[in-house]
Structure 1
């Protein structure tokens, strides 16, 4: 295999791995995917190292290596599924390496996101339903207030994250808005139980996928990635809790 072809294989693996990490995939799945792409492209022994902020791939005993940087981490399982599908098609010889790279670039830039209004509506539904589940009460009077507060909090979360790149400030400010809105609604007798409303409204902000992936990475032996993602999820939860606590401290 020529040097140009080897570098193209490594570049393709990096694109696939970067998309997977940025979209919320587990690290062991990312490493397995990259190794499989390299093997199916003719590289028998590849070396892959991944972290939440960067990834490395090289060819064992050969002077070929490439490094990628991860600057954004979110949850987009559609991208994860599309990358896995493209990788399986390449393994089955349905597409070539050049077609795989083109497909990955298309997935990276042209995957359609749900519109913001739909995300806010989904947050309202989740808040209303999970309020009943986590509160342990059939509190039908607070379903609508929980939906409204949850939608408002998630709208603030999206807006803040679009305006600033500071991590965890979105969770903090949206949690404060949720606490204040729940306090006002119960004060105006539009809600009954402020605790139940807040419990439901913060659910769309809880980093559940990050916590799950952290545990799965730890169980798979990826201690560095597991601890890093666990700390990130912990700080997100701390920001949410701090925002709610400040409202309780000054208004309750």
Structure 2
């Protein structure tokens, strides 16, 4: 009975670690590797995991049935990935029991490591303005890109909380960026709309998602790589469509 409880706790720890990493934007192969190392450290040398962007499955070669966890919400939180990696290393080195590891993982899952929304908006605005300069824009357009980029990022976060449709939030945010950029041009506060728009939508571009898709494809995880690539393409289409619709209002 004690052995079954130990196996059950090990499976719970593996699933929780994989869930946190997958929800935080980790690559598929990294999630599977972490789950396998944790299982092996607790004595489950014959374990199998199958990870996709929307679900993860974990099983052992014993009598325990396979466990499935659905992933409904995904974001980018590299701090949580680093925390889970640190916990997994402590497990492998024998510093943590399954019970202690599970408690630390639950704490990591419920802890908000990211910055407050105003700080994120400020960082997005500054990033947009800096991208404007990097793409060859002029300094007089710096305030326009700063304002449009910050407003677009804030709109994306706010709309995603209200409507759980990622495409709608990103399309609306890009539309707002386009309208603000054109408004600045019309008011004489900006000169080059193309560079203002490109710089302002950079915080919305799914750079990490594209990178993970390519890395998963190169690692042989075709299902995850293709699905992440499709998700990235859909986001890119939403951003482009938002800017295109904005141009219809100010041809």
- Output the TM-score relative to the length of structure 2: 0.97
Supply the distance in 1 between the matched residues of 2:175 and 2:202 (Cα, whole angstroms).
Answer: 14
Query: Which moves more between the two structures, 38-47 or 104-113?
Result: 104-113
Corresponding residue of 2:102: 101
Any conservation in 2 of the 1:7–1:64 contact (CA below 8 Å)?
A: no
Any conservation in 1 of the 2:145–2:200 contact (CA below 8 Å)?
A: yes
Corresponding residue of 2:207: 208
Corresponding residue of 2:241: 242
Any conservation in 2 of the 1:157–1:171 contact (CA below 8 Å)?
A: yes
1:172-224 CA distances to partner (integer Å, 9 max, x unpaired)? 00000000000010100011111111010000000000000000000000000
Supply the distance in 2 between the matched residues of 1:226 and 1:138 (Cα, whole angstroms).
Answer: 34
Any conservation in 1 of the 2:137–2:195 contact (CA below 8 Å)?
A: no
1:5-57 CA distances to partner (integer Å, 9 max, x unpaired)? 11111111000001111000000000000000000011011011111111111
> Does the C-alpha gap of structure 1 residues 138 and 172 become closer, same or farther in structure 2, counting only changes over 3 Å?
closer
> Does the C-alpha gap of structure 1 residues 138 and 249 become closer, same or farther in structure 2, counting only changes over 3 Å?
closer
1:221-245 CA distances to partner (integer Å, 9 max, x unpaired)? 0000000000001001100100100
Corresponding residue of 2:49: 48
Supply the distance in 1 between the matched residues of 2:153 and 2:66 (Cα, whole angstroms).
Answer: 41
Supply the distance in 2 between the matched residues of 1:251 and 1:74 (Cα, whole angstroms).
Answer: 34
Question: After TM superposition, which residue ranges in structure 1, 4 or more long, deviate above 6 angstroms?
Answer: none
Supply the distance in 2 between the matched residues of 1:63 and 1:92 (Cα, whole angstroms).
Answer: 26
Corresponding residue of 2:30: 29
Q: What's the secondary structure of 1:50's corresponding residue?
A: strand
Corresponding residue of 1:116: 117
Supply the distance in 1 between the matched residues of 2:68 and 2:180 (Cα, whole angstroms).
Answer: 46
Query: Which moves more between the two structures, 6-15 or 58-67?
Result: 58-67
Unaligned runs of 5+ in 1: none
1:151 matched to 2:150: yes
